Structure 1
Amino acid sequence: MGILTEVMDPEIQIDVVNLGMVYGVDISEDGKLVTITMTLTTMGCPAYDMMREDIIDRVGSFEGVEQVDINLTFDPPWDKEMMSDEAKLVFKYLF
């Protein structure tokens, strides 16, 4: 779902897809339920609630979608190597 590239980690200002935080997107057969499996850059990330609401709002705006569930996992734990090459380049200049 390309719409997830519009969801930014507010602390890093890189989207959750290019950060490698999205592990999977499952859409039910009837298209009413979208389940997103993702992780965070750190456990207890204070920005999670903001990102969660943004994901639910954006994905839930698609016609026919009635429910958006987010499965938060730390297996495998996030690592900088999960980022896209583009994100690694941006990250290198920011930090």
Structure 2
Amino acid sequence: MSEPNTAELGDKIVRVLKTIYDPEIPVDIYELGLIYDVFVNEEQEVKILMTLTSPNCPVAETLPVEVEEKVKSIDEVSDAIVEITFDPPWTQELMSEEAKLELGML
């Protein structure tokens, strides 16, 4: 059996993350800088470290579940968990140039 290509799987995960949007901002959560890290181990288990725009974010309950479910829907992924952190807190500095452009901040 060949070794799974974690870089390739990482790219697939990022593509899925880019389909998830913060309902208040017309930019996907990846470009917004809400995804801090994506870890994939040899068992194809994925751990995503992410934040929210604020601790009182209206989607605090649903967004992590959506991320988890969409990542688990990738065939190669055996399991996925999302860990929410507010350290460091999200700031607009974390947004990609694309996101800033989209929101008229550039």
Work out whether the TM-score is over 0.5. yes
Q: 2:86 aligns with which of 74, 77, 82?
A: 74
- The alpha carbon displacement at 1:13 in A equals 2.1
Partner residue, 1:15: 28
Runs of 4+ in 1 over 3 A off after TM superposition: none
Q: Scaled by the length of structure 1, what TM-score is found?
A: 0.86
- Whether contact under 8 Å (1:8, 1:16) holds in the other structure is yes
What runs of 5+ residues in structure 1 fail to find an aligned partner?
Answer: none
Partner of 2:96: 84
Match among 41, 50, 56 for residue 28 of structure 1: 41
- Give the RMSD, CA atoms, in angstroms: 1.5
In 2, the alpha carbon distance for the partners of 1:15 and 1:66 equals: 24
What residue in structure 2 maps to residue 55 of structure 1?
67
Percent identity (aligned): 38
The structure number with the bigger radius of gyration is: 2
The alpha-carbon deviation at position 50 of structure 1 amounts to 2.6
Could you list the runs of 5+ residues in structure 2 that have no partner in the other structure?
A: 1-13
Q: Deviations over 1:32-67 (max 9, x none)?
A: x21000111111211122322221221011124232
Post-superposition offset of 1:82:
0.7
Paired residue secondary structure (1:58): helix
Residue type of the alignment partner of 2:28: D
TM-score, reference length from structure 2: 0.78
Moved more, 53-62 or 22-31: 53-62
Distance in structure 2 (CA, Å) of the matches to 1:63 and 1:34:
12
